[in-house]
Amino acid sequence: MKLFHGTDPQTATKLNNGCVDITLGGGEFGRGFYMGTSKRLAKRRGYHASHRISGTANSAMRMRNNTFFIEVDETKYKKFLSNNDLTLTASQRMFGKIKRKKMWNNSIGAHDCIRGFIVGNPRYYCAKQWKFQTLNSQSYLNFHKIPDCFDGHGII
């Protein structure tokens, strides 16, 4: 499985060189580093981060060097990192709780990774997001531990 993180080209290069920091990001499930299963959505977010403007999906897909990706072997991954896999309803509940309580800077639970649906906009329910939130998962993303869990990484 491929996971994508859209950003500006400079940050994509840093991420690809092993500089993921879980304390710098945040999103629908609180503080952490987010990657998703949708290349298109990541490219759009990367386009917006690079240009600080909205653009069409076609413009975003043509932009290069702004999306970090990893290829994950889920069987091996699950042996080393703990997960909390959320249904669509559970993803919506967690997002609602974090939004209501303004818990954007908090990690939720003790799992290395929370995997759930992108729920802020119903048109993205088809995509899943992975929130990495522990130092163990940060080491994984920075290629310091369990390197056989991924089949590759790069920038597109």
Cα diameter, the chain: 41
Domain carrying residue 132:
2-155
Instruction: Give the residues of the chain that fall short of pLDDT 70.
Output: 52-57, 144-151
User: How many domains are there within the chain?
Assistant: 1
pLDDT of 146 reads: 56
The answer to whether the CB of 132 falls within 8 A of the CB of 35 is yes
Q: Residue 78's pLDDT is what?
A: 80
The pLDDT value recorded for residue 121 is: 83
Token output for 21: 């920091």
pLDDT at 144: 66
